[in-house]
């Protein structure tokens, strides 16, 4: 399974839409440098959402794009929501992520929910921890390893 990075998005505050950047440094065991969700103390260091999920929201009439769902990495060409926990994802030449969670509980309704009556991130977004750090850029390849980590 192969895809590509459509957008890289960061914000210094939690709970807000993220702004696009051309490149980002991912630190092993931490997350994206400069992003509010980066932390060595939890398993949701990086969030990913497929562009295909954003297209579905656009079909509902919403004017949304990459970063509007507060995802760090927007991908294209990979069915992220079908990946099991512990799946390894390679981004670019060096970065390796491990899927730690599929979807999330939305404790407070975001602006997207109030506009559309639903939001794709709680069901279709995925979260990962950084296994191997490095710099990623828009257009980088995204690959999925069929091998899951054993005993992690």
The count of structural domains within the chain is: 1
CATH number at residue 67: 2.40.33.20
Report, as an integer, the average pLDDT of 61-70: 86
pTM: 0.88
Give the residue, 1 or 21, on which the prediction is more confident: 21
CA–CA separation, 105 and 1 (whole Å):
27
| Phi/psi of residue 135, nearest 5 degrees | -100, 135
96-136 tens-digit pLDDT: 999 999 886 665 655 555 555 566 676 789 999 999 999 99
Is pLDDT of 151 > 50? no
DSSP for 82-97? GPPTTEEEEETTTEEE
Is pLDDT of 52 > 70? yes
Q: Which domain holds residue 13?
A: 2-148
Average pLDDT, the chain: 87
CA–CA separation, 145 and 83 (whole Å):
10
15-30 tens-digit pLDDT: 778 999 999 999 999 9
């Amino acid at each position: 399974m192969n895809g590509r990075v459509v957008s890289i998005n960061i914000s210094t505050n939690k709970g807000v839409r993220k702004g696009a950047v051309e490149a980002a440094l991912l630190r092993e065991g931490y997350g994206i440098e400069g992003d509010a969700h980066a932390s060595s103390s939890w398993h949701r260091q990086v969030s990913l959402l497929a562009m295909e999920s954003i297209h579905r929201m656009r079909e509902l009439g919403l004017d949304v794009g990459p970063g509007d769902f507060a995802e760090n990495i927007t991908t294209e060409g990979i069915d992220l929501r079908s990946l099991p926990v512990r799946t390894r994802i390679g981004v670019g030449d060096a970065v390796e992520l491990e899927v730690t969670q599929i979807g999330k509980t939305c404790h407070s309704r975001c602006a997207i929910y109030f506009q559309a009556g639903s939001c794709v991130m709680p069901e279709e977004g995925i979260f990962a921890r950084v296994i191997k750090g490095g710099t990623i850029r828009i257009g980088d390849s995204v690959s999925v390893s069929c091998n899951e980590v054993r005993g992690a």
